[in-house]
Amino acid sequence: MKSSGESIGEAAARFGLDTHVLRYWEDEGLLRPDRDGAGRRRYGDDDAVRIAVILRNKAAGLTLGQIRVLLDDDAPDRHRVLEEHVAELDRRAADIAQARAMTEHALRCRSHDITQCPRFRSHVADVLSGEARWLLLHTEPTGGPVGTPPPAGDGAN
């Protein structure tokens, strides 16, 4: 048993977290802190590294389920999870590049109303044509095109 590790309060404060977050991550199988003689959690150096890895991966957009796979020595689908995440990062990078190009054009555009600028309209052509599925997925709770009724039985109002 570790008696020299940090308490849950100390570990949480170190990373700017509430203690319930560390308890939740433990419930989810992401953390396994040792216990002292009184049963209190003690977070050692290895636990601190795991917390840092969880935080960095959450910031990178991974879900707790994906992070669990990464932290599991025996997870057979670790590479699949990572490959899917790299593909998602590539999609997000392309979205960011498009957003930057659109914003830079709007910044330099002489047209006060950018909707009237023919060149700016090229930045929204994929949305107008319905090809920009990512936009619809992020703006429509049902994931369908604007004006499409929600699927039957989904509980949406």
pLDDT at 133: 61
Classify residue 151: in a domain, yes or no: no
CATH number of the domain to which 34 belongs: 1.10.1660.10
* Domain assignment of residue 157, yes or no: no
What's the pLDDT at 123? 76
In a shared domain, residues 55 and 105: no
Whether 109 and 65 map to the same domain: the answer is no
Angle at 126 between CA 111 and CA 108, to 5 degrees: 25
Q: What is the pLDDT of residue 75?
A: 82
- Cβ neighbours of 66 (radius 10 Å): 19
What is the count of structural domains for the chain? 2
Cα–Cα–Cα angle for 47, 48, 50, rounded to 5 degrees: 65
Is 144 a domain residue? Answer: no
Is 117 within the bounds of a domain?
Answer: yes
Residues 20, 50, single domain; the answer is yes
Query: How confident is the model at residue 141, as a pLDDT?
Result: 37
Residue 34 lies in a domain: yes
Tell me, yes or no, whether 98 lies in a domain.
Answer: yes
Are residues 88 and 46 both part of a single domain? Answer: no
Residues of the chain where predicted confidence (pLDDT) is lower than 70: 1-3, 133-157
Q: Which amino acid belongs to residue 38?
A: A
Residue ending a domain, choose from 54, 71, 88 = 71
Domain that holds residue 126: 78-139
Residues 86 and 120 in one domain: yes
Helices (H), 28-124: 45-59, 64-71, 78-108, 118-121
In a domain, 153, yes or no: no
Q: How far is CA 58 from CA 8, 19, 85, 87, in A?
A: 20, 17, 12, 16
99 in the same domain as 118: yes
Same domain for 65 and 104?
Answer: no
